[in-house]
Structure formats: structure tokens, C-alpha cells
């Protein structure tokens, strides 16, 4: 039975992704922001879907110490992690700085993704063909990364911050894929569609497509034989597509990786 970690698996696209993978016979590590939410949803999934197995894991992704704790939980449960799906994401209306000094949107959407991937990456590398899947967005096309101002101190706009964090997801995937080249692990990212979730309502106040559609590309990248060996690519509607020109800037991707590594050094060494 393959083991899969889905972050943000207690509602929206993450929950539906977990449901589909559970139905496919996977062992799902169901991540929630806190223990109560993770336990409740893991039990609910197990009661509704047959074929796989659920185990709750938890951690507030805006707090890097809790991201590290989440990684410790995963290590204790799973000696091998076949798939990591970095699904969790937020959209906030006002600029807020976390206890670690990060802007909230970037903390959850980028820095937590970077840190968790680095910390559980060795478990993924133990799988015969490990996969790392990160949920980005077509909103990345409006993103613009200023490496000297990742906290948006020079001006905060909610949509721009979200778009920049989604651009960071693609750049992170490209830099990670470079490091995985020739390895047994691949890293890819995706746009899930405009999906009817709490995040969509919070950021855009519009209706979207079903969560079933929103989970489709994540599940495809996690399971399909068609993407065996595909590495460092961006997908939409289960098809490889080209992201923005800035998202294809490998020098920017490398610079963002190195800055993220430096800012997270204390957690990477713990």
C-alpha cells in the first residue's frame, strides 16, 4: 500500500484529493491545521471510503516549528513516503507577520512547502518512484517576486501576495527538479482550476467548479503512469502547459531556493 501525505486535507480540494486517493487504495496521511481537525476528518474519510487507510497528522503551516513537528510525525508513521502533495494554501486580506518573521501568505504557501518538502524528502527518496506534487495556480501569472522584499514591506496587496506565492510554488518546483535530476523522485506542480472552495470565496467572492474537478490534476500527477519520469513541469487539466516567463526563470528559481534555505536554516538543521 502506497503512502501519501496531503497537506490541507480537511476541506476543499485537499479533502477531495484525499478521498480519491483513499478510494484508490492508498494509505493517506490526512493533514489538518490542528489535531482535532485532522483526527475528525481522518475518521470521517475512513468511515465513508473503503479501500485504503487513513492516519491523521497535524501542524499549523504558518509556524515553522509546527511544520518541523509535522515532519517528525510523518517520519514516525511512514518509513517510506511514496507521494507528497503540497496542497494547503491560504489567501489573506491584510498583511500579517508570523512568529518567524514571514508574511502570512508566503509563510503558508511557500516557506512551509519548502521546509516540509526538505524535511520529508528523504522519505520520498526511499520510494521506488517517489513523487512531489505542489498545487500552484494560474494566478502565478500576476505574481512578481522581489527577493529583497518577500514580506511585502514596501506595499501589500492581497491578490499580489497570493499570486507571488503561487509563482514561488513553480519556481520552487523547478529548483527542486534540478536537484532531483537523475534521481528516483520527480517534482511537478499544477493549476487545479477555478474551484469552489473557501479560498476562492475569501479571495474572489465568486463561484467555481467542483472540488472533484479541482482534485483531478493532483491525483493524476500522484498516480498516473503517463507522468513517470516527468520532472519540473507545470500542469493544468492533466496536461503539461507552459507557465509564465518569470516562472521559467531558472536563475530566479535558484535564488529563491537559496534565500529560502538561508531563512529556514535553523529548522532545516533541527
pLDDT tens digits along 18-42: 999 999 999 999 999 999 999 999 9
Helix (H) or strand (E) holding 27: strand 27-32
Q: pLDDT tens for residues 151-163?
A: 999 999 999 999 9
Task: Give the sheet arrangement for strand 185-191, strand by strand.
Answer: 53-58, 27-32, 3-6, 83-86, 130-135, 185-191, 234-236, 239-241
Fold of 3-268: Rossmann fold (3.40.50)
Catalytic residue among 91, 114, 162, 234: 162
Reported pTM:
0.94
Does the CA dihedral 215-216-221-225 come out positive or negative? positive
Q: For residue 201, what pLDDT is reported?
A: 43
To the query of whether residue 162 is one of the catalytic residues in this protein, the response is: yes
* Selection from 23, 13, 12 nearest residue 217 by Cα: 13
Q: For residue 225, what pLDDT is reported?
A: 96
Q: For residue 208, what pLDDT is reported?
A: 54
Distance CA 139, CA 29 (A): 28
Contact 29, 57 (CB under 8 A): yes
Q: pLDDT tens for residues 51-71?
A: 899 999 999 999 999 999 999
Amino acid at each position: 500500500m502506497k503512502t501519501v501525505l496531503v497537506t490541507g486535507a480537511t476541506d476543499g480540494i485537499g479533502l477531495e484529493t484525499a478521498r480519491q486517493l483513499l478510494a484508490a487504495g492508498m494509505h493517506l496521511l490526512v493533514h489538518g491545521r490542528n489535531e482535532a481537525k485532522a483526527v475528525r476528518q481522518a475518521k470521517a474519510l475512513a468511515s465513508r471510503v473503503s479501500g485504503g487507510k487513513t492516519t491523521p497528522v497535524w501542524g499549523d503551516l504558518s509556524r515553522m516549528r509546527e511544520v518541523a513537528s509535522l515532519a517528525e510525525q510523518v517520519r514516525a508513521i511512514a518509513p517510506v513516503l511514496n507521494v507528497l502533495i503540497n496542497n494547503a494554501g491560504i489567501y489573506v486580506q491584510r498583511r500579517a507577520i508570523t512568529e518567524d518573521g514571514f508574511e502570512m501568505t508566503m509563510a503558508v504557501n511557500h516557506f512551509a512547502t519548502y521546509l516540509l518538502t526538505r524535511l520529508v524528502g528523504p522519505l520520498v527518496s526511499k520510494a521506488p518512484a517517489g513523487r512531489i506534487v505542489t498545487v500552484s495556480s494560474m494566478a502565478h501569472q500576476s505574481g512578481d517576486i522581489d527577493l529583497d522584499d518577500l514580506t511585502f514591506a514596501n506595499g501589500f496587496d492581497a491578490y499580489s501576495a497570493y499570486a507571488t506565492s503561487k509563482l514561488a510554488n513553480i519556481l520552487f518546483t523547478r529548483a527542486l527538479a534540478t536537484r532531483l535530476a537523475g534521481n528516483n523522485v520527480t517534482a511537478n506542480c499544477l493549476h487545479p482550476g477555478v474551484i469552489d472552495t473557501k479560498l476562492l470565496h475569501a479571495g474572489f467572492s465568486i463561484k467555481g467548479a467542483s472540488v472533484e474537478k479541482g482534485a483531478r490534476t493532483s491525483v493524476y500527477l500522484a498516480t498516473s503512469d503517463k507522468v513517470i519520469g516527468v520532472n519540473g513541469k507545470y500542469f493544468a487539466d492533466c496536461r503539461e502547459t507552459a507557465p509564465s516567463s518569470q516562472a521559467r526563470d531558472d536563475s530566479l528559481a535558484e535564488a529563491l531556493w537559496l534565500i529560502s534555505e538561508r531563512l529556514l536554516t535553523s529548522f532545516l538543521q533541527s
